[in-house]
Chain A
Amino acid sequence: GQNIDQPTEMTATEGAIVQINCTYQTSGFNGLFWYQQHAGEAPTFLSYNVLDGLEEKGRFSSFLSRSKGYSYLLLKELQMKDSASYLCAALDSNYQLIWGAGTKLIIKP
């Protein structure tokens, strides 16, 4: 079957760095997405990786290892507004998104 695993909840301190991991098992693979979802709001796109390596976008970076079925989202210089759920989703061979349950990130001052 197809499966996405990510931690349920993480806590970090304002100004620090946090890494949210995601492992995936899909029928075929056409890339991995990270979305951010604030409480009561819709998911919004953060990043997409299809090749191995690190993609940096400001304070956020996303890494992919296709051979390991592994990705992480790295958030630097954490701000209170980064408190949200972070959803990992893999694009399978049919170009359908397989979603993880999300990681709730709590930022403490």
Chain B
Amino acid sequence: DAGVIQSPRHEVTEMGQEVTLRCKPISGHDYLFWYRQTMMRGLELLIYFNNNVPIDDSGMPEDRFSAKMPNASFSTLKIQPSEPRDSAVYFCASSLTLREGTDTQYFGPGTRLTVL
């Protein structure tokens, strides 16, 4: 398996622009997670899906952020409008299950977002 795939790897945009980050989880994994990582705040869970359904979006910072999972092999995280404080590395991760603690989360390579 190719692992979790994310695109783009790097994104530089100007404040106010719409940004869309994409993720393809590992085939057969039922759970998909979106994280944001910064030096100041570390790794933060934004939202996670189970079988394409959003389960917990309490980590989404504000209404400017939205995430969708139209099918089992694709998810997007959208920021509209973007702001400089959104600059971070955004990771997508997937796991086979959630309730089996031995089932780890596999992370994608991340998207490094810079908002000017």
Contacts and interface: CB of A to CB of B under 8 A. Distances in A.
Nearest to A89: B43
Contact of A99 (B42, B48, B101, B102): B42
Contact of A42 (B48, B56, B91, B98): B91
Interface residues of B, number: 18
Nearest to B42: A101
Contacts, number: 42
A45 B105 contact: yes
Contact of B101 (A31, A41, A43, A102): A31
Interface of A: 30-31, 33, 41-45, 48, 50, 87, 91, 94-97, 99-102
User: 8 tightest CB-CB pairs across the interface, nearest first?
Assistant: A31-B101, A42-B107, A45-B104, A101-B42, A99-B43, A95-B98, A30-B101, A43-B107
